[in-house]
Chain A
Amino acid sequence: MRARFRAAAAVISVIVVVSLIIASKIQNNSQTESLRRNIWRNANLSTLPADESRGERIARAAGCIACHTDLESDGEMLAGGVVFATPIGKIISPNISSDKQYGIGDWNREQLAEALINGLAPDGSHYWPALPYVAYRSMKTQDVADLHAWLMNTKPISLPAPEHKLRIPSASNRLIGLWKNQYVPKGPLPDEPIPMGQYLVNNLGHCAECHAQRGPLGSITDRSLKGNTRGPDGSNVPAITRQALMDWTVEDIAFYLEIGMTPEGDFAGAHMAPVVEHSTSYLLPEERIAIAEYLLSDINQ
C-alpha cells in the first residue's frame, strides 16, 4: 500500500514538474510574441497608409496564393482546401478570401499580423506551423498593412474549407506553444533591417520550409537550404546553397524564377512549377536578382 502511494506520488510530482516546465516555456514564447506585437503597435500598424497593389506582390512573394488555392481542382482563389500530408495527419489550408463568414474578411490588420508573425488565430489558439510563421516572424509592418489591404479586396468565397484531419487530440493545440518556444527563432524581429534578397528567401518566400531538412517534430533546426530528402509528397527537394548552385549565374537563377527554366533548358515540374507560376514570376525583376544574389552569396552555405 505504501509502495503504491509512493509510486503515485512520484508520478504526480513528475507530472507537476513537467507541467511547470511546459508552462514556463509557453510563458517564454508568449513574451517573444508580445515583444513582436509591441513592434507593430509602435509602428502604428493599424493606421499606416497601405498600398493594395504592393500588397498583391507581398502575397505573391509570401506564397499565399499557391497554398491557399486548390489549384489541382481548379478551386477558387484563396478559398483554401489544399491538403498537406504530415506525420500528424492532414492539414488543410483554410479559406483566406475576403468572405466575412468563411474567409478572413472581418480581420483587422493586427489580427493578420498575429496570424502571420505570431502564429495566433483571433481566438488565441495556435496555428499549426504549416502556416510558415517561423519564416514570417520577421515580417515588416508595412508589408502586413499592404497585404491586408489586398486581402480585404479579393473575391469573397462563401464556402468553408474542409477541417484538418488530424490523428491527435485537438487539445494538443496547446503544445504548439511549447513547439514554438523550442523552434521559432526569436530574431530577426519584425522591422529589423534585412537585405532584400535575404528577406525574400528566408522570410516572405519561406524557401527553407521545403529546401531544408525537417526533424521528427516537423521542426527545422538548421534552416540552411541544404535540400530535403523528405519533401512534400515524399519528393527529394534539391539543395539551393551557394555550393549547390555553383554552375548557376545570377541571370540563370533570375530567369528560372521568372519562367522555370534551368541553365540546361529543362523546365521545372512538380512542386516548384506552381511556386514559379504563382509566386516568383510576379516579383519585380530587381527582386528576382536580389534573391539570386543572396543565394549565390557567402551567407547561403
Chain B
Amino acid sequence: MSAHDGATGIIKHRMDSMKSLQDASKTVGNMFKGKTDYDLSSMRSASETFIQHGEVMADQFPDTQESREGHKTEALPAIWDNWDEFTALAEKFTQDSRAFDAIVAELQSLPTLDKDSIRTARTAFFKAAKNCSGCHEQFRAE
C-alpha cells in the first residue's frame, strides 16, 4: 500500500509524475552515495525525466475542484493562493534540471570520469533537487 493508492484522474496523474521524479532522484542519489556505480546513461535519463516532468508540472495542478479536493491529494490550497510562486519554483526546477542535464551530457562525451567531473555533476544535481524540498515545504501536506 502506498499513500497514492486509490487516487484517480488528475490526482493519480500527477502522483505518478512525482513518483517518476522520485525514482529518478533515487537512481542518481544512489550513485553519489556510492551505493551503485556511476552510470552516465542512467544519470542522463534521470536528468531528462526531471526536465520532462518539470515542464508540465504547473499544468498538472489546474485550479479545479477535482484538483483541489480530489481523493488522496496531498496538494495544499497554498498552491493556488500563491500561484506565481508555485509556477516560478516549477520553472526554476526545470531550468536547474536543464543545467544538470547539460553537464551529464558533457560528461558522457569525456573518455573517463574523474573526481572533478563527479563533483560538478553532484553540485548540479543538488541545485536542481533543492527545489523539491523548497516546493514540498510550502505546497505539500505531510
Contacts and interface: CB of A to CB of B under 8 A. Distances in A.
B136 A251 contact: no
Given A260-B129, A267-B132, A269-B133, 19 more contacts: A236-B142, A249-B35, A251-B33, A252-B33, A255-B29, A259-B130, A260-B130, A260-B132, A264-B22, A265-B22, A265-B23, A265-B27, A267-B25, A267-B133, A267-B136, A269-B135, A270-B142, A273-B133, A273-B136
Given A251-B33, A251-B34, A265 B26 contact: yes
- 3 closest A-B pairs by CB: A269-B136, A265-B26, A267-B132
Contacts, number: 66
Interface string A251-287: 1100100111101111111110110110000000000
Interface of B: 21-27, 29, 32-35, 126, 129-130, 132-137, 140, 142
25 contacts: A235-B142, A251-B35, A252-B33, A255-B32, A255-B33, A259-B126, A259-B130, A259-B133, A260-B130, A260-B133, A261-B29, A264-B26, A265-B24, A265-B26, A265-B27, A265-B29, A266-B22, A267-B25, A267-B136, A269-B133, A269-B135, A269-B136, A269-B142, A274-B137, A277-B130
A266 B133 CA distance: 9
Contact of B129 (A249, A259, A274): A259
A261 B129 contact: yes
Contacts of B130: 259-260, 277
A246 B93 CA distance: 31
Contacts of A261: 25, 29, 129, 132
Given A269-B140, A270-B142, A276 B133 contact: yes
Nearest to B74: A269
A270 B25 contact: no
Nearest to A269: B136
A293 to B, nearest CB: 15
Contacts of A252: 33
Given A235-B142, A273-B136, A267 B34 contact: no
A230 B127 CA distance: 33
B133 to A, nearest CB: 4
